[in-house]
Structure 1
Amino acid sequence: MSSNHHSASEHSRHDLAPGEEQKGGSGIAKGVRGYLVGLAFAAGLTVASFVVAGSTRFIYAPGVPVALLVLAVAQMGVHLAFFLHITTGPDNTNNVLALAFGTLIVALVVVGSLWIMANLNANMMPMDAMMPAGGMAQSGPTGGATVPGASPSPVTPPPAAR
């Protein structure tokens, strides 16, 4: 064997995904450096999204929502990799499944809420059918609301106490 080949454990020690921590605890500086790289990426993506949303100088105006969606997905990827340390390693299977389940629950809540609101909107009586043509009900002489166009009821004083 040549001296250029590394053992499997040596190779796996240097072959890490972005944001993945080393198991040996080789130093706080490397961990902090990973967080600072993630912070730089997250800040850069945030600034880029504000620039895209605030100016159409860099991107065609109808493409702004798509660009913001792409930047948002990239921002989520940076947070998952650098801060939550979600990687594709075999030791992260439970984390990935928990993340997928949480995403499913959030999607069900959002889609279900939109479905219910759309159904309520479709089945709601229109506002002009609920109110008379004159608009808001007006106050009558008794202080109570009366329907416009109806004759007010005569006000009778209460009977005197005997």
Structure 2
Amino acid sequence: MSREEQDVDDSAPGEEHVNAHEPAGGVRGYLLGLGLATLLTAASFWVGWTDLVWRPAVPTAIVVLAVAQMGVHLVFFLHITTGPDNTNNVIALAFGVLIVLLVVLGSIWIMAHLNHGMQMGPDEMMQHMR
């Protein structure tokens, strides 16, 4: 058994071996990812500074560019794909996104309801002062 065969057999579940011939593999993949990430960053600054984009649509455009940026980072730098050997990484990523969404949405819900419960009208305030 050669050293390479032994390394393939001696891998952890979910561990991915990056193939240099894949679009996201090797130095070429990292450089392509860097170029795309730089382009998306420049595009988000451009969207914020230009008058060519309708002003109410700017936040939506920036969010779309940010999601694209996350996709570039996941594929080209973290090598998270939907391949059969990458199932654990995809599940862990989905669970992390779920937890972040629960924390953010739960915090917004709590703050909105606390703010609503703390607002009293002048009549209610006078009754509490007596």
2-side partners of 1:103 and 1:35: how far apart? Answer: 24
2-side partners of 1:40 and 1:47: how far apart? Answer: 11
Which residue of the partner structure matches residue 155 of structure 1?
none
Structure 1 residue 73: deviation in Å?
A: 1.1
The letter for the 1-side match of 2:43 is A
| Structure 1 residues 124 and 88: alpha-carbon distance in aligned structure 2, compared to 1, 3 A threshold | same
Report whether the alignment pairs 1:113 with 2:110.
no
Which residue of the partner structure matches residue 102 of structure 1?
96
The alignment yields a C-alpha RMSD, in angstroms, of 2.5
Pairs within 5 Å for 1:138-149: none
Which residue of the partner structure matches residue 37 of structure 2?
42
Q: What is the identity percentage for the equivalent residue pairs of Structure 1 and Structure 2?
A: 62
The letter for the 2-side match of 1:94 is N
1-side partners of 2:96 and 2:121: how far apart? Answer: 39
Q: Which one of the candidate residues 84, 90, 99 is aligned to 1:90?
A: 84
Pairs within 5 Å for 1:1-162: 21-22=18-19, 31-57=26-52, 59-126=53-120
* More helix as a share of residues: 2
Structure 1 residue 125: deviation in Å?
A: 3.6
- Following TM superposition, the consecutive aligned residue runs of length 4 or more in structure 1 with deviations greater than 3 angstroms are 125-129
1-side partners of 2:77 and 2:59: how far apart? Answer: 26
The letter for the 2-side match of 1:110 is V
The SS at the match of 1:87 is: coil
Structure 1 residue 87: deviation in Å?
A: 0.7
Q: Deviations over 1:25-61 (max 9, x none)?
A: 78xxx6122111101100100000000011222x222
2-side partners of 1:89 and 1:101: how far apart? Answer: 18
Q: Which runs of 5+ in 1 are unaligned?
A: 1-19, 133-162
Which structure's relative contact order is higher, taking Cα pairs within 8 Å and 6+ residues apart? Answer: 2
2-side partners of 1:71 and 1:90: how far apart? Answer: 28
Of the two, which has the highest radius of gyration?
1
